[in-house]
Amino acid sequence: MRTVVAVTGASGFIGQAVCKELLDRDFIVRALVRAIKPTQQTVSVRLKYVAVGDLCAETDWTEALSGVACVVHCAGRAQVMGEMDGEESLAIYRAINVASSKRLAEQAASSGVRRLVFLSSIKVNGECTFPLSRGIPSNGRPEIFKASDCPAPMSSYGHSKWEAEQALYAVSSQTQMEVVILRPPLVYGHGVRANFATLLSAVKLGWPLPLGAVQNRRSLVALDNLVDLIVNCIKHPKAVNQTFLVSDGQDVSTKEIVEFMALAAGVTPRFLHVPFWVLQLGASLLGKRDALQRLCGNLQIDICKTSSLLGWVPPVSVEEGMRRCLTLKN
């Protein structure tokens, strides 16, 4: 008997990929979206779109969850780059990422859903593993985020994801519904947007980038790797009520990211070897220090727990993941 899985945010970058993979693996998919588009009107045997409206504390998920065994919760308010943190922004994130997630979990448990897989964020652990402002570690080794770390979110977005995790675990502790938390870093793949897409466009155009002297280390996760782990967590018996970090398992520098992009695009990467202190000075003068941190800072993730407990190995390399950014077919 096929398992029915509901996917929130099914029209999004990650949600669409999750739905496709579930269909490929013979699941029945309930794709939950804000509003149904004309192209989503046709109902197939194993895929049905359901409109749930805007995400908030009053969202009614009941009809969409009827007969569902597992919910993959991808929907939420993404972090807005350049947004000032404060009580106002935190209130907005809480209304969408916390209150609506709690409401979903409560109604899912009442509807008999056995498991909820929640897409959280590595920002629950923190913004970076070794900030630019702290210089070089005395032991020569950067700190690395682990699943066992005490949460230390520094942004409104990170705080909202941490609070959502706690709300889901609270519901799980009072019901029979299991919860699985996944914390990914930056996700890249075909259709990626924001800063990653801008950098990719610059590489494809052959622009010289002032990143030749950058020697940071970053963990990323290819869309196909994240989706593979999500689907594995739907039924894996050892995933019950666990929090997992996820990455490609291959840390790279920003310079290496550009080189992989160039290789995928079939162009030669062009670098300017600008001293890092010059980049820092320029970023400070332009009020872009946070942007420089996101691009050139360190953010390393330990996925040993994910690999050992679930027996999971990322199926896609960074090189292949970059290639898939530029192709429609995998």
- The DSSP string of 113-173 is --EEEEE--GGGT-S-SB-GGG-S-TTS----B-TTSPP---SHHHHHHHHHHHHHHHHHH
End-to-end CA gap in the chain: 28
Residue 65 domain flag? yes
3-state secondary structure of 26: coil
Per-residue pLDDT tens over the stretch 217-247: 999 999 999 999 999 999 999 999 999 999 9
Residue 161, domain member (yes or no):
yes
Specify if 47 maps to a domain.
yes
Element of type H or E holding 183: strand 178-183
Phi, psi (rounded to 5 degrees) for 8:
-85, 155
Q: Which residue, 1, 74, 3, 18, is CA-closest to 236?
A: 3
330 inside domain: no
Q: What is the pLDDT of residue 289?
A: 79
**In the structure encoding, which two tokens stand for residue 314, read together?**
């990322």
pLDDT the model gives residue 37: 82
- Which whole number is the average pLDDT over 166-187? 97
* Contact between 240 and 70 (Cβ < 8 Å): no
Place of tokens 């519904």: 177
CA R_g for the chain: 20
Asked if residue 93 belongs to a domain, the reply is: yes
Domain of residue 23 covers: 4-325
Reported pTM: 0.92
* Residues, the chain: 330
In a domain, residue 299? The reply is yes
Q: Could you give the CA distance from residue 105 to residue 103 in angstroms, rounded to a whole number?
A: 5
241 within domain boundaries? yes
Positions marked active-site: 157
CATH number reported for the structural domain that contains residue 166 in this entry:
3.40.50.720
pLDDT in tens, 267-293: 999 999 999 889 888 888 888 777 788
Q: What is the mean pLDDT of residues 128-135?
A: 61
> Encoding tokens for residue 285?
């003068």
108, part of any domain: yes
Mean pLDDT of 97-123: 97
Give the three-state DSSP class for 5. strand
Averaged pLDDT, 130-157: 72
* Structural domain count, the chain: 1
